[in-house]
Structure 1
Amino acid sequence: MSILVEVDHVDRVFNLPNGEQYIALKNIELKIKKGEFITLIGHSGCGKSTLLNIIAGLDTASQGGITLEGREVREPGPDRMVVFQNYSLLPWLTVRENIALAVDEIYSGNSQEDRELVIEYHIKLVGLGQAANKRPSEISGGMKQRVAIARALAIRPKLLLLDEPFGALDALTRGGLQDQLMNICEESKVTSVMVTHDVDEALLLSDRIVMLTNGPEAQIGQILEVNIPRPRKRMEVVNHPSYYALRNEMVYFLNQQKRVKQRRAKQQPPVIARNGLEKVNLDIGFIPLTDCAPLVVAKEKGFFKAHGLEEVTLSREPSWKEIAKGIAEGRLDAAQMVAGMPIAMLLGLDGQAPVPVNSALTLSRNGNSIIFGKHFYDKGIRTLKDFKAEIANTPDTVHTLGMVHSASMHNLLFRYWLAAGGIDPDLDVGLTVIPPPQMVSNLKAGNIDGYCAGDPWNSHAVNGGSGFVIAP
C-alpha cells in the first residue's frame, strides 16, 4: 500500500501565560498507508488529541509538518473529516438534514438527485433508515454518533479522524458501534486515525497501534502491529492466539508509563550507600526462562543484600525488545540478555542509538533446543534432511520458524543449522521474532511451525504434546 499521510518530525510547543513553554509533542514521525486503521493510545496528557488536530489541520505544528498525498496540510479541508466525542450535530435539523448539510456544501456542483443518493446511501450504511427524519433530541447517544460518522463519510474523505468517538457511551452501545465502525471502514476502505483509551477497542479496530509516552515532550514509545486477519469478528479477534499477547504488551507499556509518571511526581534523589557513592537500589530485568534462575536465587537467598545491594527489584519483562528498551531508557539498571544483545546495543543495530553495555555475568551455556510442531512428527519428519525434503515437496507453503531476538545466539544457531542442511534461512523459510513465553501458544495455534528457544518453553512444548525436539 502507498503512503497517504506522513507525520514528519512534528513538535508542538505551547506558550504559557508566565512566559515559559510547554512541549506537548517531540519529534513525532509516522507514515500512514492508504486504507490503514491507526489508533493513538496513551495516558491523559500525552498529546493524542493534539496530534490528531494537527493531522486534521485544526492546529499547527511548531516544528515539522504533515503531508497528505505529498501536499502539506496547513488548514482543515474536505479530504479530512473529524468525528468528535460530543457529536457536533445541529439540534434543529433532522438526521437526514444534518448529513445533507455536509453533502450539499461539498458537492454543490452535483445534481440534487446525485446528492440525495449519497445521503440515503450513508443513512443506510450506518443503519439509521428508521430515524432519518428525527432530530438529535429524539435519538440515543449511539445513534447521534452514527449520524456524525455518516456525515463524515458522506463527503468521501481520504482520511477519517476520530477523537474518542465512543468515550461518552455505555458499554453495550459502545460495543455495537465498534462493530459497526469496523464493518463501515472495511466496506469503504477509508484510511482512519482514532484516539482512544480502550486497549480492547484498539485491538479490535486497528492495523497498527501507536503508543505515546507521557507528556511533556511526548514521543512515540512503541508501534504495535496487529496481525489479525480481516474481515474481523469480535469473538474471532478475542480468540485469536495473538490477541492476549498483544493486549499484554499494550497494558505493560501503559503500566510502565504510569510508573514513570509516579517516579517523576516523587522526584526522589537516587539512593546511595551509607559510606560511599555506590547505588544500592537496582532494577534488574528478566525474561521467565530457566536462565534467570541465578537472579531469582540471589534475590531469595539474600545474596544481593550480603554484598550491600539493599533494594533490588526483579522486573519481569515481556520480550527481549523491552529489555533493550529498558536499559537504553535507564528504567533498568541491569538485565538478563541473550548473548548477542550487548554487542548489538553497543553498535546501535536495528536503527537504535548506541548504548554502552557491560557483560557482568554469564547465566547459562545450555538448555536451548530447536522445537518443531507435532504435525511434522506425525508426517514422519525427524531430521533436518526430512525437513528439507518437506520444503521441496510443498513449494507453495511458507514454513514459519520463531526466533527470540535478531541478535540472539538462538538466531545464529538456527540459521547455521538450516544452512548446514542446504536450507537458505532467508529464502526457503520465514523467520519471525517472538518472545519466548509466546512460542508454545503460537506453535499450538499453527502460527509457526517450529522455534529455537530455551527452557522451560521447550519442555512445555514437548510435555504438552504440541512439539518435539528435532535438534538439542
Structure 2
Amino acid sequence: MSAFLEIDHVSRVFKTQNGQPYVAVKDVYFEMKEGEFVSIIGHSGCGKSTVLNILSGLDKASAGGIVLEGREISEPGPDRMLVFQNHSLLPWLTVRQNIGLAVNRVLRDLPKEERRRIIQENIDLVGLSHAADKYPREISGGMKQRVGIARALSIKPKILLLDEPFGALDALTRGRLQEKLMQICDESKISAVMITHDVDEALLLSDRIIMMTNGPEAKIGQVLTVDLPHPRKRLESVNHPNYYRLRGEVVNFLDRQKQIKIERAKNKNTAAISMGNIEKTNLTIGYIPLTDCAPFAIAQEKGLFAKYGLDVTLSKENSWNDLAEGIREGRLDAAQMVTGMPLAISLGMGNKIPVPVVTSLTLSRNGNAITLSNKLHEEGVHDLASLKVYIDKFADDAYNPAIGMVHHASMHNLLLRHWLASGGIQPDQDVDVIVIPPPQMVANLMANNIIGYCVGEPWNVRAVNSNVGFVVATDLDIWRGHPEKVLGVRKDWAEQYPNTHLELVKALLEAAQFCEPLENRDEVILTLASPNYLNIDPVYIRPGFAGPYRVSNMEAKYEKDFCQFGVGNMPSRKEHLWVLTQMARWGLISFPENHAEVIYNLLATDVYQQAAKELEIPIIDEDKSPIVLADGSVFDPNDPIAALQSMPYSKFTETSYFDAVKGFASKKVAVRQ
C-alpha cells in the first residue's frame, strides 16, 4: 500500500551571490499516513521552511520530489493549504468574507447555499460565530489566526501545512489555540505538517516529530513517534509517564545539534595533518561512555594512539543515533559502533541514502544484560516464562508494555527480540521495543515508562545497586561470545587514508589485548571511572568486569567471559550475516539477494590481518560451522534464507537486490515459501 504523502529524497540547492551553490537540505525522506499530524523541528537554518515551501508547491526541489496520493506535486494547489505565522487576512473583508473568499474560489461549482453552509460550519469550528461579521482590525491576533485556520480548512484540503502558526502570539493565546487545533485535528482526522521551534507544542499536537540536523546540507536526524493517547488534553499529556522521556529525546537532539554547530565552527579551518606515510594524523573518534569503550580509553591514556603516530580526540556522543550521523556526515573520522551499525549505515536503514561503511576490528564481545523492574519481580516474574504470563495480562489494553534498547541495529535489540520470541512473546505485537539512550535507562525504569531494558554496563549494575531492577538474563544466556562493539569508518575514508586506518587498527587492537587479562582490569576500571570517560564510581564497573556479577540485591554470580576484548578481534563473515538476517527478520531492512557481496564489501579483514601480523598476533581462520544459540536455534551461514523462513514471528517475505549507489531495488523478488 502506497503512502498518503511521500517526501522522496528531496534536496534543495540555492545559488549564492558569489555563484557558489548552497545546499539547504539534502536527501530528506519520509512517508506520512492519512490523518497523521507530523511536526518538523530544528534550529534556525535547518531547512524546515524549505521543506514546507516545497510541500506547498511554492518552491521546487533540486532533486527528488513530493508525491501526494500517488500524484507528484509541482505547483501550489487547493489540496494543500498553508497557514502562515503572520495572519494574511484582507483588511477590508469581514471574518466571514475572508473565509468565503477561499470557498467561493475553490468550491465555486457547489450551490450557493452549500457554500454558505461550509463557511458557517468552519466559523463555528474555530469558535468565531460571535465575530463572523467583524473586520480584522476589530479582533485579536489569536482570533485572526483562527480565521486563517478556518479558511484553510473550509476548502477541505488533503493536507494542512502550518508554518509556525502560533509563533507570534502571547503564551496564553498560543496555549488556547494549540488546544483548539488539537481538538479539531482529533475530531476531524486532519492530515497536517507543522514546523515549529516549540518542543512542547510539537509533543502536544504530533503523532510523529521529525528532527532536522543543522544546515547546510540539513537532513532528517531522527524521527520520534509520540505515543501519547488520543484524544489529547494538555494536562493529561504532560502527566503521561512517557511525556518527559519523549521531551528529553527532542531536547537532547536539539542540544546536540547546537554543540555540533559550535564544533563545526571551531574545526572549520582544521586541515588533515600528515606525517610520514600516515595520510592523516589528527582524528576525531566517536564513542559512547559504556564499559566496553575500554579499548579507546586505554589507547588514549596509555599513549597507544600517539605510539602509532595519531593525534586523537575522543568525542563523547549523547546517543548511538548522534554517533551514526557523525559518521554519515563526516564529522567523525571513526567510531565505536554497535555491531549492526556499519550494515545499517551502508544499507541506508531508515530510508536514508546508503553510505558505505567498513569494519576492520571487533572491539568487544558479550557484556550486555536484560534488566526488569523490581515491580515485576514482586508480581512473580523471575524468568522468560513468567515474563510472558505477565505480558499476556495486557493483551486487551490499548497500549503494550515497553522495553528499552539502545539502537535498532544493536545486538541489544536483536538479542532482546530473539530472546522474547523464543519465549512466545512477539515483539511489536505483545510488547513495544523502543530506543532509549543508555544513560537514560535507569531513570525511565524508575519512572515506570518501561518495564525493563537491554543495555551494556554500567546501567544494569546501576539498577540493581539502586534497588529498582534485577537482571533476568545476560547475553551469555542467549548467544555466548557474540560480537558487541566494532570499529567503523566510512569506506571512502578508508580508501583515502589507508595507512591511517591501519595504524588506528593497530592502536586499538593493542589496547583491546591489554584490556583482556584479569590482572589489567583494575587499571582499566580506574581509567573508565575517570571524568574523561564514564565519570562514575568504580563500584558500578567492577561487577562482571573484574568480579562477580550482581543480578539482584540478593544474588551475585561469577560470569566467565562476560566482558571480552582480546578474543576474536577479526571481523567474522557469518556473525555479520546473522546480524543481517535478524535485521531483515524484524523488518528493519530488506534482505539483499546479493548478501555475500554486501558482507564482502563490509568487512576489511585485510586491514585487520595486516595489523595483527605487524603486532605478531596469531590470525585464526574463521570457523564456518553454523552458529548455535543457547535456545538451540541454529543459523547456517550457507542458507540464510532458510534460517529467515524458520524464525518465529519473522516479518521477512522477500529479497531485494542492493546497489551500493542506488540502494535497494524498487522491484522485489519473491523467495520460496
TM-score (norm 2): 0.61
- Residues paired across the two proteins, number: 467
1:77-127 CA distance string (max 9 Å, x none): 222111112211011112122112222223333344333322222222222
Q: Is the 8 A contact 2:39 2:195 kept in 1?
A: yes
Residues 198-217 of structure 1 aligned to structure 2 (within 5 Å): 198-217=198-217
- Aligned equivalent of 1:457: 459
- Aligned equivalent of 1:137: 137
Q: Is the 8 A contact 1:285 1:317 kept in 2?
A: no
Determine which of 402, 405, 416 is the counterpart of 1:403. 405
- Aligned equivalent of 2:85: 85
Residues 37-436 of structure 1 aligned to structure 2 (within 5 Å): 37-265=37-265, 267-270=268-271, 272=273, 282-292=283-293, 312-318=313-319, 320-338=320-338, 340-341=339-340, 344=343, 348=347, 350=349, 352-359=354-361, 361-362=363-364, 366=367, 368-388=368-388, 390=390, 396=396, 400-411=402-413, 413-414=415-416, 417-418=419-420, 430-436=432-438
Q: Distance in 1 between matches of 2:412 and 2:66?
A: 41
SS at match of 1:326: helix
Q: Is the 8 A contact 1:15 1:22 kept in 2?
A: yes
Q: Distance in 1 between matches of 2:377 and 2:72?
A: 57
Q: How many Å apart are 1:195 and its aligned residue?
A: 1.7
User: What residue ranges of structure 1 are gaps of 5+ in the alignment?
Assistant: none
Paired letter, 1:207: D
Return 81-90 or 2-11, whichever deviates more: 2-11
Q: Is the 8 A contact 1:47 1:218 kept in 2?
A: yes
Q: Distance in 2 between matches of 1:393 and 1:254?
A: 38
- Over 3 Å counting, the alpha-carbon distance change for 1:115 and 1:226 in structure 2 is same
SS at match of 2:357: coil
Q: How many Å apart are 1:219 and its aligned residue?
A: 2.8
User: What residue ranges of structure 2 are gaps of 5+ in the alignment?
Assistant: 475-673
Q: Is the 8 A contact 1:104 1:115 kept in 2?
A: yes
Return 127-136 or 155-164, whichever deviates more: 127-136
SS at match of 2:108: coil
- Over 3 Å counting, the alpha-carbon distance change for 1:249 and 1:357 in structure 2 is farther
Q: Is the 8 A contact 1:241 1:441 kept in 2?
A: no
Return 139-148 or 425-434, whichever deviates more: 425-434
- Over 3 Å counting, the alpha-carbon distance change for 1:462 and 1:81 in structure 2 is same
Return 408-417 or 243-252, whichever deviates more: 408-417
Q: How many Å apart are 1:389 and its aligned residue?
A: 5.1
1:349-368 CA distance string (max 9 Å, x none): 73643312343754x754x3
- Aligned equivalent of 1:471: 473
Q: How many Å apart are 1:212 and its aligned residue?
A: 2.7
SS at match of 1:8: strand
Return 99-108 or 439-448, whichever deviates more: 439-448
1:401-451 CA distance string (max 9 Å, x none): 433334444345545655665767687755444332333344445554333
Q: How many Å apart are 1:192 and its aligned residue?
A: 0.7
SS at match of 2:66: strand
Q: Distance in 2 between matches of 1:245 and 1:428?
A: 21
Q: How many Å apart are 1:159 and its aligned residue?
A: 1.0
Q: Distance in 2 between matches of 1:116 and 1:288?
A: 63
CA RMSD of aligned residues (A): 3.5
Q: Is the 8 A contact 2:395 2:430 kept in 1?
A: no
Q: Distance in 2 between matches of 1:97 and 1:423?
A: 58
- Aligned equivalent of 2:486: none
Q: Is the 8 A contact 1:123 1:150 kept in 2?
A: yes
- Over 3 Å counting, the alpha-carbon distance change for 1:322 and 1:240 in structure 2 is farther
Q: Is the 8 A contact 2:241 2:448 kept in 1?
A: no
1:164-206 CA distance string (max 9 Å, x none): 2122222222222222221122122111111222222222222
- Aligned equivalent of 2:493: none
Q: Distance in 2 between matches of 1:426 and 1:234?
A: 27
- Over 3 Å counting, the alpha-carbon distance change for 1:380 and 1:246 in structure 2 is closer
Paired letter, 2:84: F
Paired letter, 2:286: G
Q: Distance in 2 between matches of 1:244 and 1:257?
A: 20
1:49-79 CA distance string (max 9 Å, x none): 2221222122233333322222222322222
- Over 3 Å counting, the alpha-carbon distance change for 1:434 and 1:84 in structure 2 is same
Q: Distance in 1 between matches of 2:417 and 2:192?
A: 39
Return 254-263 or 81-90, whichever deviates more: 254-263
Return 251-260 or 46-55, whichever deviates more: 251-260
Q: Distance in 2 between matches of 1:347 and 1:217?
A: 19
Paired letter, 2:324: A
Q: Distance in 2 between matches of 1:118 and 1:420?
A: 56
Q: Distance in 1 between matches of 2:74 and 2:345?
A: 41
Q: How many Å apart are 1:252 and its aligned residue?
A: 3.6
